Chain A
Amino acid sequence: GAGVSQSPRYKVAKRGQDVALRCDPISGHVSLFWYQQALGQGPEFLTYFQNEAQLDKSGLPSDRFFAERPEGSVSTLKIQRTQQEDSAVYLCASSLGVAGNTGELFFGEGSRLTVL
């Protein structure tokens, strides 16, 4: 497709379950970001990939969060042993250039995670 695709759009997990969220960026985009957006807040940075290399993971809230982009295209954000405070919308964004050079990002529609 032409845009950034995320799946699943909605995920309900019981506390303690593991979840995996997928992002398919725009073809050819070098940069891929994951953001977390709580209700009524702006997106907050989680992690960044340049091609397959994870260059910045300073925003990951704990070691329960793990992200990968093994072939430099599709990325997966995994959350282990989910907690209620993990409930949020997880946004994936991509850009053609490398991070730091532009704030023009193309966002997916997000994956809304609810932890019960």
Chain B
Amino acid sequence: EDQVTQSPEALRLQEGESSSLNCSYTVSGLRGLFWYRQDPGKGPEFLFTLYSAGEEKEKERLKATLTKKESFLHITAPKPEDSATYLCAVQVGTGANNLFFGTGTRLTVIP
């Protein structure tokens, strides 16, 4: 059975304290892995797409990496405005119902 697991469920960081969020997956036929950011009361906002093991993407203080079993979202020197829930999603197979989301990591950055 395809599974996507994110850890930790919640993370509190001091401003400037770097850390990583994990997304592990057990799926057959991974086509892509996606990271989204979701602010309270808002819809998810696309951040990154990763397609193959070894691939890395960066945007400001965020860097996403992918292996054959998991993806990491590294946050370098976070700021309070980075506080949000970060969702990963795996795309498996073709068709419309092929994007499966994890439950997210709720990140709080304390000034």
Contacts and interface: CB of A to CB of B under 8 A. Distances in A.
B45 interface: yes
Interface in A75-116: 91, 93, 99-100, 102-110
Nearest to A91: B43
B78 interface: no
Interface in B87-109: 87, 89, 91, 93-104
Contact of A45 (B45, B87, B97): B97
Interface of A: 4, 31, 33, 40-45, 48, 55-56, 58-59, 91, 93, 99-100, 102-110
B103 A59 contact: no
B46 A104 contact: yes
B52 to A, nearest CB: 14
A43 B4 CA distance: 13
Given A40-B103, A44-B101, A110-B43, A103 B32 contact: yes
Contact of A93 (B4, B32, B41, B43): B43
Contacts, number: 64
- Chain B interface size range: 20 to 34
A96 B4 CA distance: 26
27 contacts: A4-B43, A41-B103, A42-B4, A42-B87, A42-B89, A42-B100, A42-B102, A42-B103, A43-B87, A45-B97, A48-B97, A55-B96, A56-B95, A56-B96, A59-B97, A91-B43, A93-B43, A99-B95, A99-B96, A100-B95, A100-B96, A100-B98, A102-B32, A103-B89, A103-B99, A105-B46, A109-B41
Nearest to B93: A100
Contacts of A93: 43
